[in-house]
Amino acid sequence: MAEGTIRKMKTENAGVVNYYLPVGDERIFMNELIGKGIKMVFLNEIHCIGCGRITSRSFAQGYCYPCLLNSPETSECIIHPEKCMAHEGVSRDMEWSREHCLQDHVVYLADTTGLKVGVTRLSQIPTRWMDQGATKAVRIARTPNRYLAGRIEVELKKIFADKTNWRNMLVNKNTGVIDLIEEKERAREVFPFEFRQYFDENSEITNITYPVDHYPVKVKPVSFDKMLEISGVLTGIKGQYMIFENGNVLNIRKHNGYMLSFQF
């Protein structure tokens, strides 16, 4: 048994993704619990992952309301990278932005049982893809900051989706074979001319396999906002979701900072 606040699962791509759930000071290796019964009990405390204070409600996957308004981690450019202004010296925290926004970023295409375009820091590859439940991904562009990657993504969103259908991802719905190299060439055709220097000619595909015994036919999201206890036989993990044998799915990232008792 472990007890403490939880954070999103840590991952490593080792043939099959290895998942580690931080619970307080412990890190639980989740792969070895697949096929076994687990129980998680919410202890009625939510700690902001920004400042640590207790909050009655979590915002933006783990923050209190003041941090939602003031923390650099909840800036508008997290969702809309094209609105980042750190390259102009404008930021809630320039030191943070130098480490997170003014670093090399990648525009990519990923197959999450559906094709999507996205942006992430170079240092977050392949973590970002594993968190999204992508089974394969390829880089399209590499830029020196978040703003430029966002500008490129805006143009590519005219022909590519930018959202993951999480229900399809969790039932592993086959939407057809996606040829990422072919799709990258389609992206090249509409790539903004002013940003051509950032097009990434490296077309290496990253393949990702998840530890799932079997996928449910239908999924039902569960949350500690509506129940104090979530339990059952764990049948797999994909993205940041735990999948249970009854089709219940728990988004761990959504519960960043929740205080739990974890029994296994």
pLDDT, tens digit (0-9, with 9 covering 90-100), for 81-106: 999 999 999 999 999 999 999 999 99
pTM above 0.85, yes or no: yes
**Can you give the length of the chain in residues?**
264
SS3 state of residue 149 = helix
pLDDT on residue 175: 74
For 175-228, write each residue's pLDDT tens digit: 788 999 999 999 999 999 999 999 999 999 999 999 999 999 999 999 999 999
Burial of 23 (0-12, 13-18, 19+ CB in 10 A): buried
Mean pLDDT value across residues 140-167: 96
- 31-83: per-residue pLDDT in tens? 999 999 999 999 999 999 999 999 999 999 999 999 999 999 999 999 999 99
Answer yes or no: is pLDDT of 174 > 80.
no
**Structural tokens at position 250:** 């728990």
Q: How confident is the model at residue 193, as a pLDDT? A: 93
How far apart CA 105 and CA 99 sit, in angstroms, is 12
Contact 241, 164 (CB under 8 A): no
Q: Which residues in 158-167 are b (16+ Cβ under 10 Å) and which e? A: eebeeebebe
Q: What is the pLDDT of residue 176?
A: 80
Domain segments of the chain as ranges: 2-58+211-263, 75-207
d(CA 34, CA 16): 13
| Helix 180-190 vs helix 146-156: crossing angle, to nearest 10 | 100
